[in-house]
Amino acid sequence: MKSFKLWLENKQSLAYHKTTEDAAESILQNGFDLSKSRKFELGLGVYVSLSPQQTKTNEVVIECQVSMDKFLDVRNIQTSLFTPEEVKILEEMTYFVEPNFSNSELAKKVKTNYRGLILNPRIIVCYYPEDVKPIKKLTPS
């Protein structure tokens, strides 16, 4: 996907966060607060995608500026930090998230060495909320 590759090379670009109406207002006023977030399969963080498309009728989409410095792209791991087994698990997560990944030693290693994790254009998790600046709420088209 050429546009995704260009987005990654840019290191700072637009992405979209889907949430509820109430949460959107709070995020736009105060920024992202991980203490108010639900923990998902990849751990606590701000989840964004390259698509602003709503998947549920009650979702609100916030356009965000994302700083992509020091993110791990699991489709292109170029480091000796991980064992071959860990690389295999990370690469397979583009299709299937390892159960209990967020509580694993591998997850701790990723969070210690990277600011975020890129699985694919639809699933990007930013572990540090200061890397994600909310810009505006999008209106449904």
pLDDT digits (tens, 9 = 90+) for 18-67: 998 889 999 999 999 998 887 677 888 999 988 887 666 678 999 999 98
| pLDDT tens digits for range 89-129 | 888 887 777 777 888 899 899 999 999 988 888 888 999 99
- Amino acid letter for position 99: P
CB 106 within 8 A of CB 89: yes
- The whole-number pLDDT of residue 91 equals 86
Buried b (16+ CB within 10 A) or exposed e, 68-106: beebbbbeeeeeeebeeebeebbeebeeebeeebbeeeb
Question: Does the pLDDT value for residue 4 go beyond 70?
Answer: no
- Position 75 confidence tier, pLDDT thresholds 50, 70, 90: confident
Q: What is the dotted CATH code of the domain comprising 2-138?
A: 3.90.228
